[in-house]
């Protein structure tokens, strides 16, 4: 079903879940698999060529993120990176302390890891994120104690797009040499400026498929001085932190994807900000629309509710118009429960159940957003009747 006559392409506004693969990235992935498929751990020259590509990819990633004292551990994605960073550090530094700090609105791969560690005997402080950034930083500082070894914070929340004060938090953590600082930057890398040295980030997780890269590819960027307990053991690849034959093509494609979004980052940001401002203005003019996104906001994500329509119902109704959005995070969108993140931000359970997420990319067009708004108005009117 289409809004107007003629052919209308799919309107994809779920880029926070995954993005289409850039053709240059895909070509790089295919080329490496066709021509440089040797094992980079092999001693022969053919393997050495693959290893050289791996080294070049690492250098490019570190340069793009200004991580001068770091190394890259290529992983299967951000979930593995988050687990390796958090579990690996806590296991490696358990003799230094058993207290760790995070926020109440982390991605499931961080939140559940902290919950598991709490069940294993570590003491966890989940920081309340309601209020201003200054209040948030003060709560973190108040939670720090002699036993604290790790602070982990998401940069851009995956459901609301709320931006958290990673720079300020990094300056705070830098005062405590014993404490390490981990950032889940999945929704910020390639969209907002990320400077690991300037932000004092020790560990950073990212995923390729959020930046028009290949699924199943990601990285943990780690300060070279930090020790981690490996979570996958075997042949001691990736500096001994992640065993298994290294996905060289995935690493090359990740570096390519990162460069293609960071080089035009400012231009892309301004383009998406216009789409964000237009969408918010249109939503504000609609009756019974509640916008949940925070004032400190990434323009790539908008979270809102069309009261009293359940989020899942709205998502499926928009599908009839070839418009694709999501309810909650893709990792939990099939669970018919209120978003824990929205509840932690003080949103009522009713609104949390009715909320949906629209997420843009630099490929999103003004026409697509206009068609989305038209479809939304029709669907909301129909569902209310």
CA nearest neighbour of 136 among 174, 163, 158, 100: 163
Q: Where in the chain is the domain with CATH 3.40.640.10?
A: 23-262
Question: CA–CA separation, 316 vs 305, rounded Å?
Answer: 14
Per run of 10 residues, the mean pLDDT along the chain (length 385 residues) is 50 98 98 95 92 97 98 97 98 96 96 97 96 96 98 97 97 97 98 98 98 98 97 91 94 98 98 97 95 88 96 96 84 66 92 96 97 97 88
Q: Which of 90, 145, 153, 331 is catalytic?
A: 331
Look at residue 6 in the predicted model and tell me its pLDDT. Answer: 44
CA nearest neighbour of 228 among 243, 242, 241, 237: 241
331 included as an active-site residue: yes
Question: CA–CA separation, 266 vs 244, rounded Å?
Answer: 37
- Beta-bridged to residue 385, according to DSSP, are none
- Range 23-262 has CATH code 3.40.640.10: yes
CA nearest neighbour of 72 among 225, 194, 190, 219: 219
Question: CA–CA separation, 126 vs 112, rounded Å?
Answer: 12
Collapsing DSSP to helix, strand or coil, 290 comes out as: strand
The pTM of the full predicted model, rounded to 2 decimals, is 0.94
Look at residue 36 in the predicted model and tell me its pLDDT. Answer: 95
Question: Are the beta carbons of 288 and 307 closer than 8 angstroms?
Answer: yes
Q: Where in the chain is the domain with CATH 3.90.1150.10?
A: 11-20+265-384
CATH architecture of the domain 11-20+265-384 equals: Alpha-Beta Complex (3.90)
Question: Could you tell me the end-to-end alpha-carbon distance of the chain, in angstroms, rounded to an integer?
Answer: 19
Question: CA–CA separation, 61 vs 65, rounded Å?
Answer: 6
Question: Are the beta carbons of 28 and 252 closer than 8 angstroms?
Answer: yes
Look at residue 31 in the predicted model and tell me its pLDDT. Answer: 97
Look at residue 2 in the predicted model and tell me its pLDDT. Answer: 32
């Amino acid at each position: 079903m289409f809004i107007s006559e003629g052919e209308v392409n799919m309107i994809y506004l779920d880029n926070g879940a995954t993005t289409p693969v850039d053709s240059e990235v895909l070509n790089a992935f295919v080329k490496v698999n066709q021509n440089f498929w040797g094992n980079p751990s092999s001693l022969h020259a053919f393997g050495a060529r693959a290893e050289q590509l791996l080294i070049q990819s690492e250098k490019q990633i570190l340069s793009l993120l200004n991580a001068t004292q770091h190394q890259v551990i290529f992983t299967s994605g951000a979930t593995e990176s988050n687990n390796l960073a958090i579990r690996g550090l806590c296991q490696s530094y358990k003799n230094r302390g058993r207290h760790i700090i995070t926020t109440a609105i982390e991605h499931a791969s961080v939140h559940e890891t902290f919950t598991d560690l709490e069940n294993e005997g570590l003491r966890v402080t989940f920081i309340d994120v309601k209020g201003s950034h200054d209040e948030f930083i003060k709560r973190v500082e108040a939670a720090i104690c002699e036993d604290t070894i790790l602070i982990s914070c998401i940069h851009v929340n995956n459901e609301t797009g709320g931006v958290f004060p990673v720079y300020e938090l990094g300056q705070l953590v830098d005062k405590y040499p014993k404490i390490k600082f981990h950032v889940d930057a999945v929704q910020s890398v390639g969209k907002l400026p990320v400077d690991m040295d300037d932000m004092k980030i020790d560990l950073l997780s990212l995923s390729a498929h959020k930046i028009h890269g290949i699924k199943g590819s990601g990285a943990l960027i780690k300060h070279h001085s930090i020790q981690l307990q490996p979570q996958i053991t075997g042949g001691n690849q990736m500096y001994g932190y992640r065993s298994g034959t290294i996905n060289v093509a995935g690493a090359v494609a990740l570096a390519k994807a990162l460069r293609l979004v960071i080089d035009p980052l400012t231009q892309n940001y301004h383009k998406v900000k216009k789409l964000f401002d237009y969408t918010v203005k249109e939503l504000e003019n609609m009756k019974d629309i509640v916008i949940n996104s925070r004032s400190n906001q990434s323009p790539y994500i908008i979270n809102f509710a069309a009261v009293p329509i359940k989020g899942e119902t709205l998502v499926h109704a928009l599908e009839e118009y070839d418009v694709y959005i999501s309810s909650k995070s893709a990792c939990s969108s099939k669970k018919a429960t209120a978003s824990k993140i929205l509840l932690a931000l003080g949103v009522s359970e009713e609104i949390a159940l009715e909320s949906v997420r629209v997420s843009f990319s630099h490929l999103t067009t003004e026409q697509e957003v206009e068609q989305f708004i038209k479809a939304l108005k029709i669907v909301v009117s129909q569902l209310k009747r």
